[in-house]
Amino acid sequence: MMIRSFIAIDFPDETRKALEDIQKELKQCGAGVRWVKPSSIHLTLKFLGNIQAALVEEIALAVAQEIRDQPPITLRPAGLGAFPSRRKPRVIWIGMEGEVQRLNGIQARVENALEPLGFVREKRDFRPHLTIGRVKDRRRLQSLVDAMATLDMEPFNSFDADEIILYKSDLRPTGAIYTKLHRMPLAAPASP
């Protein structure tokens, strides 16, 4: 059996609520955007695609061993952007601040763990972001661009990510449903 899967960092409900508030503000422009459900937003470290169900345990073990000595990481969503550009948005995202250098290192360790299992290393530089919407048509696109430029974002609170998660993704007409298959903890800091 094949499972569509990816590895990501989850975050607190408080962060989800703040992301939902930003989506509500941007929705008012009436642009043709398919907004990601706040409960489905996550920070993807590696998209695996379709994998054999029998590989799930091996993937989780390899990644867990690779990150086990890494302490929890402090992150904070910040900044609104779009791919390929803010003037021609196709994907609307929120960036990340905080221990981004360490996050890049953890993402590289995930790549290191998976390469021997046959997963091709991502060629593009890792750009940590939270996808909040995808433009589905050009309707009222300029209104969206203007709304993004003038949006007054309240600062997000920082959070400590203490695990990364292997997810299963079931694609449905109503949107993807994500199921946590494995939690891979980052090491707890040593007591003084």
d(CA 23, CA 133): 8
What is the tens place of the pLDDT at every residue in 119-175?
999 998 999 999 999 999 988 999 999 999 999 888 899 999 999 999 999 988 877
Phi-psi region of 101 (alpha: psi -120 to 50; beta: other; left: phi over 0): alpha
81 near 144, Cβ under 8 Å? no
Q: Select which of 109, 129, 168, 182 is catalytic.
A: 129
Residues 11-30 as b/e (b if ≥16 CB within 10 A, e otherwise) read beeebbebbbebbeebeebe
pLDDT at 188: 61
Catalytic-residue membership of 42? yes
Q: What was the pLDDT predicted at 192? A: 53
pLDDT of residue 4: 95
Low-confidence ranges of the chain (pLDDT < 70): 188-192
Helices (H), 47-91: 56-67
| Alpha carbon distance 153, 162 (integer Å) | 26
Structure tokens at 102: 């360490």
Could you give the domains of the chain?
2-185 (3.90.1140.10)
Measured distance CA(167)–CA(156) in Å, rounded? 25
Angstrom distance (rounded) from CA 163 to CA 161: 6
Catalytic residue (choose from 3, 41, 42, 130): 42
